[in-house]
Amino acid sequence: MRDRGKQSDAPAPDSPWSEVVPGLWMGGHEYTGRSGQPEFAVVRDEFDLVLTLLRLPGHGPDPGVEHHVWPIPDGPLDGTQLAGVMRLARTADEARDAGRRVLVRCYHGYNRSGLVVAHALIRAGSTAEDAIRLIRSRRSPWALHNALFVDYLHTGLDTARLLEELAE
């Protein structure tokens, strides 16, 4: 699944991944390298846990690195997809609490990974607005430029999930 929505209008980030809070990173599969040209972000063993929301072959991680894959679109999510986002955020939160290095990634490391990381931060006590602001300051001003995902965070993923399931 490779639905990047309006993300193609967003410039590629200047790094493969960025640390949002100690132990919790967000990133993508492509970034702008030092030469100014696009480069692939390939995860080896830099992280203890990799949570992938868009899987592209050949981008890692290495065998032996715990890896969870939950492909979702960069657009409207159904109740099942939102439940998966919540599960990944809980997994990230628990791993970080255990002292593990966690990477949450999607295509550029802006929207889908931002949704999971923001929900993990909210679970840990941040407000939605504080989580969004922190992510944008640490990753990129383009992070969470998907207005629907920002709405999900302000509504609360639990509530958004219930509303989506009622609509189904």
Average pLDDT, the chain: 93
Are the C-beta atoms of 147 and 75 separated by less than 8 Å?
no
List the one residue out of 60, 135, 48, 46 whose CA is nearest residue 95: 48
Q: What is the pLDDT of residues 90-125, one digit of tens each?
A: 999 999 999 999 999 999 999 999 999 999 999 999
Half-sphere exposure of 158 (CA within 13 A, CB side): 4
Q: How confident is the model at residue 2 (pLDDT cuts 50, 70, 90)?
A: very low
pTM: 0.93
Q: Where are the alpha helices (DSSP H) in 5-156?
A: 79-97, 112-123, 128-138, 147-155
**Is pLDDT above 60 for 57?**
yes
Q: How confident is the model at residue 7 (pLDDT cuts 50, 70, 90)?
A: very low
Are the C-beta atoms of 12 and 30 separated by less than 8 Å?
yes
**DSSP 8-state secondary structure symbol assigned to residue 11:** P
| For range 26-34, the mean pLDDT | 95
- HEC letters along 18-51: EEEECCEEEECCEEECCCCCEEECCCCCCCCEEE
**Is pLDDT above 70 for 6?**
no
| For range 122-143, the mean pLDDT | 98
**Is pLDDT above 80 for 58?**
yes
**Is pLDDT above 70 for 4?**
no
| For range 74-93, the mean pLDDT | 97
